[in-house]
């Protein structure tokens, strides 16, 4: 009778089992059994790996992989990132960028950058340049740069074709009248009185619109589809409007009529050969119209596939371009790159890195449901990265002078400080130590509560990388404000000496007065006082601004920091993570706080 048993383990375990059973198997039988064992285990491992990879796919990747499996578009993958050049990119765009470029990279495709420049009233070359800079800073590179304006002639020709085929007409009603006739989701719309104009008349009027003979707002071209369709986007959407008052940033005054987004977007995807047109959820209801427009002129089976994912909303800020523009224009922030803004250039100036933003996007993922992400997750991501990579330095933000009364006058010692305890390869640097030091005002309290472990008369603390000191008193001005703190140092407790092992409960940092370098430190915090400013319907969003989102301190830093370069990152010990602001210049250091060492808002929320 044949015996069958199942075994799970390593090849070494397999041979040990054979030997322990003392079975008289020939070498051929053992090798045959081992081969089956390895094949079964490798097959199982491959299945586990394959299942794990599938489990880690987001739903867009699942769609792409299914398309590849079915041989759609000959296995070709092409995406695009299509910003409107009417503002600076924000972190919500970063999520879309990571998706568009990430899909192309993962599946050996290409991603193009296409500017949807169909509204010259709001567009500017400044925005075109900033968008390209931000994409590259995030670590992505497009295959080609396109513009919707590249296709203006093709789109115009298509509009003429629609008119000739009875699929479009010129409407002379006002925007308000057209909107009123749209109906509601449960009530059919009302046909325009111009809907059944003769084709020849529509062609003549559209030509007059195109030649600049008609004033802005007097006429529009509408697609003739279905005024009773339950999808209101099908109720004769406007596809062209007149704009003669603003030259286009690329084509100047050549065009007098411009296509609407819904008419230009899908057709541009089709002209370029996009396989996967990825956008945010608000465009899901536009998808049937996207497909309908392409179906009217496509001459092959090829179709770009539009799919939607959730947009990124973050607490304590606004993502609306209109609201951000208000903040800039009204001087409520210093500009689009103000470190309190959610713009990519603002985050860069604040001290966020490309890798931290990409990691944040990876952590929050992509779903089919909109929601609001807690900004503390973004802050935690940069905090983790800088903890591992940022050089440590001492900075005294709100200084008060500490005098060691028993330390020799004129004497200077160089103390050794670790650059980053998380990375030994970053080495060490020297810190000057002298009789007079700057410490943080908060590190001294004359009448301290019981669990205050910093400087207070009669109490001992350790000066980081230096000595243990004992506070002996302080000096006050006429108003009772402390101006100097006095202490004595213990010469046997220098770091590294046997006496330094004495236990004290508090450690504070310092900067030598003689060697201190002045610096302006900008302490940035959250821009708004409420989690979701958009939810406060009964208040103007500007009333919700956090008055303490920026405070400026005149501080002192270690001497070696005088030669730092803009955007370099540091951990100011016991305070937070900072970077050098572009406003810095020789003799005028400026640091921005990227994020505090700990999330102080979590305590406030409790």
pLDDT digits (tens, 9 = 90+) for 150-197: 999 999 999 999 999 999 999 999 999 999 999 999 999 999 999 999
Distance (Å, whole) CA 106 – CA 42: 25
- Element of type H or E holding 93: helix 91-106
Can you give the pLDDT at residue 33? 58
Instruction: Count CB neighbours of 567 within 10 A.
Output: 15
Q: Spot the catalytic one: 256, 321, 401, 470.
A: 321
- Concatenating the DSSP letter of every residue in 450-477 gives TT--SB-TT-EEEETTS-EEEEEEEEE-
C-alpha pair distances (Å), 430 with each of 254, 435, 498, 511, 558: 65, 17, 21, 12, 10
Q: For the domain bounded by 395-509, which CATH number is listed?
A: 2.40.240.10
* Chain region(s) in the chain for CATH 3.40.50.620: 72-309
Strand partners, 507: 462
Is the alpha carbon torsion for 125, 129, 135, 141 positive or negative?
positive
Secondary structure letter of residue 548 according to DSSP: T
Can you give the pLDDT at residue 599? 73
The answer to whether 84 is a known catalytic residue is yes
The answer to whether 54 is a known catalytic residue is no
- Element of type H or E holding 318: none
Q: For the domain bounded by 72-309, which CATH number is listed?
A: 3.40.50.620
- Concatenating the DSSP letter of every residue in 483-524 gives EEEEEEE-GGG-TTSGGGGS--S-EE--EETTT-EEEEEEEE
Can you give the pLDDT at residue 9? 53
pLDDT tens string 205-260? 999 999 999 999 999 999 999 999 999 999 999 999 999 999 999 999 999 999 99
Can you give the pLDDT at residue 2? 46
* Chain region(s) in the chain for CATH 2.40.240.10: 321-391+518-605, 395-509
Can you give the pLDDT at residue 56? 85
Distance (Å, whole) CA 528 – CA 132: 29
Strand partners, 524: 550
Distance (Å, whole) CA 132 – CA 119: 19
Secondary structure letter of residue 312 according to DSSP: P
Distance (Å, whole) CA 187 – CA 464: 73
Task: Identify the CATH class of 321-391+518-605.
Answer: mainly beta
Q: Spot the catalytic one: 122, 256, 307, 311.
A: 311
Can you give the pLDDT at residue 29? 61
Can you give the pLDDT at residue 212? 96
Strands (E), 89-149: 110-115, 145-147
Q: Spot the catalytic one: 65, 84, 133, 385.
A: 84
pLDDT along the chain (606 residues), means of 10: 48 52 55 58 53 75 96 96 96 97 97 97 94 98 98 98 98 96 94 97 98 97 97 97 96 97 97 97 96 96 96 94 94 96 97 98 94 95 97 97 96 96 96 97 91 92 96 93 95 88 92 97 96 88 95 97 95 97 94 90 53
Can you give the pLDDT at residue 10? 52
Largest CA distance in the chain: 105
Can you give the pLDDT at residue 51? 56
Can you give the pLDDT at residue 36? 63
The answer to whether 311 is a known catalytic residue is yes
């Amino acid at each position: 009778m044949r015996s069958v048993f199942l075994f799970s383990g390593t090849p070494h375990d397999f041979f040990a089992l054979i030997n322990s059973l003392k079975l008289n198997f020939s070498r051929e039988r053992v090798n045959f059994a081992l081969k089956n064992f390895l094949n079964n285990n490798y097959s199982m491992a491959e299945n586990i790996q394959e299942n794990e990879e599938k489990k880690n796919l987001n739903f867009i990747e699942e769609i792409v992989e299914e398309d590849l499996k079915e041989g759609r578009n000959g296995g070709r993958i092409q995406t695009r990132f299509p910003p409107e050049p009417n503002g600076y990119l924000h972190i919500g765009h970063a999520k879309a960028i990571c998706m568009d470029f990430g899909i192309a990279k993962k599946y050996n495709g290409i991603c193009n950058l296409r500017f949807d420049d169909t509204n010259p009233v709001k567009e500017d070359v400044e925005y075109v340049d900033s968008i390209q800079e931000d994409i590259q800073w995030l670590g992505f590179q497009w295959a080609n740069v396109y513009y919707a304006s590249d296709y203006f002639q093709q789109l115009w020709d298509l509009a003429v074709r629609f008119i000739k085929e009875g699929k479009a007409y010129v409407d002379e009603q006002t925007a308000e009248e057209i909107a009123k006739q749209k109906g509601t989701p449960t009530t059919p719309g009302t046909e325009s009185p111009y809907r059944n104009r003769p084709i020849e008349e529509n062609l003549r009027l559209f030509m007059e619109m195109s030649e600049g003979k008609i004033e802005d707002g007097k006429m529009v071209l509408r697609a003739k589809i279905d005024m009773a369709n339950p999808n209101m986007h099908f109720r004769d959407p406007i596809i062209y409007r007149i704009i003669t008052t603003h030259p286009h940033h690329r084509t100047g005054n050549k065009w007098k009529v411009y296509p609407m987004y819904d008419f230009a977007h899908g057709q541009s995807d089709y002209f370029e050969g996009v396989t996967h047109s990825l956008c945010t959820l608000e465009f899901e209801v536009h998808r049937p119209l996207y497909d309908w427009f392409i179906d009217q002129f496509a001459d092959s089976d090829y179709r770009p596939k539009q799919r939607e994912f959730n947009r990124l909303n973050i607490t304590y800020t606004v993502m609306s371009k209109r609201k951000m523009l208000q903040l800039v224009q009204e001087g409520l922030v210093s500009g689009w790159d103000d470190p309190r803004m959610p713009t990519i250039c603002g985050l860069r100036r604040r001290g966020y890195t490309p890798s931290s933003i990409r990691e944040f996007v990876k952590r929050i993922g992509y779903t089919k449901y909109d929601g609001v992400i807690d900004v503390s997750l973004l802050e935690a991501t940069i905090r983790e990265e800088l903890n591992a990579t940022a050089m440590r330095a001492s900075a005294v933000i709100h200084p008060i002078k500490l005098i060691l009364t028993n330390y020799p006058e004129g004497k200077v010692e160089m103390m050794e400080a670790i650059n980053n305890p998380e990375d030994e390869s970053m080495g060490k640097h020297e810190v000057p130590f002298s009789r007079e030091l700057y410490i943080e005002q908060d590190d001294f309290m004359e009448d301290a509560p019981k669990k205050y472990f910093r400087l207070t008369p009669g109490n001992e603390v350790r000066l980081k990388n230096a000595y243990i000191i004992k506070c002996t008193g302080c000096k006050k001005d006429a108003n009772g404000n402390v101006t100097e703190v006095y202490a004595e140092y213990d010469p046997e407790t220098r770091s590294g000496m046997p006496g330094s092992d004495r236990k004290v409960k508090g450690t504070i940092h310092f900067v030598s007065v003689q060697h201190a370098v002045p610096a302006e430190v900008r302490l940035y915090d959250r821009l708004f006082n409420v989690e979701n400013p958009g939810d406060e319907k009964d208040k103007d969003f500007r009333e919700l601004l956090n008055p303490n989102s920026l405070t400026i301190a005149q501080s002192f830093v270690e001497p070696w920091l005088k030669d730092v370069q803009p955007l370099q990152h540091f951990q100011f010990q016991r305070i937070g993570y900072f970077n050098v602001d572009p406003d810095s210049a020789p003799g005028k250091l400026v640091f921005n706080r990227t994020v505090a060492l700990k999330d102080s808002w979590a305590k406030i929320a409790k």
